[in-house]
Amino acid sequence: MSKTALLFAGQGAQFVGMGNDLAAQYPTARALFDRANSALGYDLASICFNGPDAELLKTEHAQPGIYLVSWVAFQILRERVPTLKFQATAGLSLGEFTALTAAGVMDFEDGLGVVKLRGRAMQEACETTHGAMAAIIGLDEIATRELCAQADVELANLNCPGQLVISGESDKISIACELAKSRGAKRALPLPVAGAYHSRLMASAQPQLHASLAAIPLNLPAVTVVSNVTALPHGVASEIHARLVQQVTASVRWEESIRHLLAQGFTRFIELGPGTALTGFMKRIDKTVQVLNVSDVASLELTVAALSTESSAATQRDT
């Protein structure tokens, strides 16, 4: 029987209109948006649905918005496929909070509140520093670490073969991009982000996140949840707390996280939330596994059809 892992989108996946068609078609989705608005005390749903883009791009809105839309996608998939079973979850950076919520570590409103605070704290860190990020395409990890050391920037994301992201002070990122090109990188592209995520420039956000997590109950995961920091499963509540705080300045070891799941026999991955970035990463990590996604009504229908077809085939084999 296939082992299924759920993958949750991270910051950068947001787009104006995300979740709108799900809310329009499914009362459960609309109710979740309303619950989120009530819990937050402002109309996050309207920012997700209508923007403007400049407002949605703000870290303080993008992070709870992506968490919310990802959670809605998860709940609607469960509603459409009541027999859905999964044995692990993982999320890219911010998405790790949704992954932990899906595994029962925190409840929806608690997770939303923590993510709101995390987004605001990181926004403040962005505003008090001069940070930037860039994607390095076509260099391996060793070469990228060497240029990071030379330019005094940090390796922020190890997403998939040939795609790494660096983070640090803006002028140093410019130097690092030139170094990357001189060393054979196919591209070194500055990213349209507000600051230097997953670098030491985000350290000022950590005390607030630490306090916020300390104020909510954290349960043992009901299924495996892979940590961005270690690329291994989370453990007890105190460890989860520590890893989530550490994650703000640590590298996101996404490729390693996925390879851990592959080594454990996972053959089906379902991306939940806006966009299809994780699906793209998966295709570069392992083309042989099944990858589905739920971002909107159209992708939901395709995923439901794929899961229903497999379920019917399994039933026929058993009879």
Task: Identify any residues that bridge with 133 across adjacent strands, giving them in sequence order.
Answer: 167
C-alpha 267/C-alpha 183 separation (Å) is 36
Q: Is 198 a catalytic residue?
A: yes
Phi, psi for residue 250 in degrees, rounded to 5 = -90, 165
C-alpha 48/C-alpha 40 separation (Å) is 14
Active-site pick, 61, 70, 93, 260? 93
C-alpha 196/C-alpha 235 separation (Å) is 28
Q: Is 93 a catalytic residue?
A: yes
C-alpha 240/C-alpha 246 separation (Å) is 10
Active-site pick, 198, 234, 260, 295? 198
Phi-psi region of 162 (alpha: psi -120 to 50; beta: other; left: phi over 0): left
Which residues are annotated as catalytic?
Answer: 93, 198
